[in-house]
Amino acid sequence: MSKILVTCPGCLARFEVSDKYAGKKGPCPKCKKEIIVPDKQDEVVIHAPADSGPTDSKGVAVLKPIKRTEFAVGKLIWIAVAVGVIATLGFAISMRLSNTVPSTLLLVIGSILLAPPIVMFGYTFLRDDEFDGYSGQEYLIRTAICSILFAATWLFYWQISAYFENKVMADIPTGQMAVFMIVMIAIGTVTSLATFELETPQAAAHYLAYFVVTFLLCWMMRVELAEPIAAPKSLNVPRSTLQSPPAVKPAINPLPSNTTPK
């Protein structure tokens, strides 16, 4: 028994009914509106477009269409990311609680190691799904270049801050700090545009993900962002405590009034 494809004119729901109901009335199974089942000859059948490519002797197409593979983040990758995030936060919190400032070498290594995973995940979620992204060796090379340049933006910040003799972040005027960060974001955006060919808003968000993560980690570890190689601070003693104690007059035993010196 063949089927008739029916489309409800009210809710536009599509369903199939037996051809024995052709020309009869009945309620739509979805909106319950009364519809008329069309005759079999009135049914509209949509055929697949004819293949105009080359075919073999049996009429079968020789060329097969290229199927686009969707990218999906596996469970193992998510687990690895979760472990990395927890380990990084744990390290930053332990440094803050112990009042220990990481060395310059550790800051440089950390800024470089954090860049690749942030760059990879940022590109995965910000790229245009309508186009095939980079993969394989080319993807790894572009990730390495982008990661190094992202980390280099902090080197730019430290060098400029040292040039203006700003020892700690609190010493930097708000306007000057805003200019520094705008320049850093501009450099990061251009880097993302050149390496991964993202749109400008997506490229800016790509770098901002790295900037925000590294900035918050430095803040948690109490790093002097303006000069990581700063010498130990001298104690800032309040001026009131530096005042000299009141002068003590020497005790003088007065001579009795009826005594004359010899």
Residues near 28 by Cβ (< 8 Å), separated by ≥ 6? 8, 10, 11, 13, 34, 35
Q: Which residues of the chain have pLDDT under 70?
A: 1, 40-53, 59, 62-74, 164-173, 225-262
Look at residue 177 in the predicted model and tell me its pLDDT: 74
Look at residue 1 in the predicted model and tell me its pLDDT: 59
* 35-44: long-range contacts, CB 8 A cutoff, minimum separation 24: 35/6, 35/8, 35/9, 35/10, 37/4, 37/6, 38/4, 38/6, 39/4, 40/2, 40/4, 43/4, 43/5, 44/5
Look at residue 260 in the predicted model and tell me its pLDDT: 53
Q: Which amino acid is at 4?
A: I
**Residue 62: phi, psi to the nearest 5?**
-80, -40
Look at residue 11 in the predicted model and tell me its pLDDT: 84
Look at residue 103 in the predicted model and tell me its pLDDT: 83
Look at residue 67 in the predicted model and tell me its pLDDT: 61
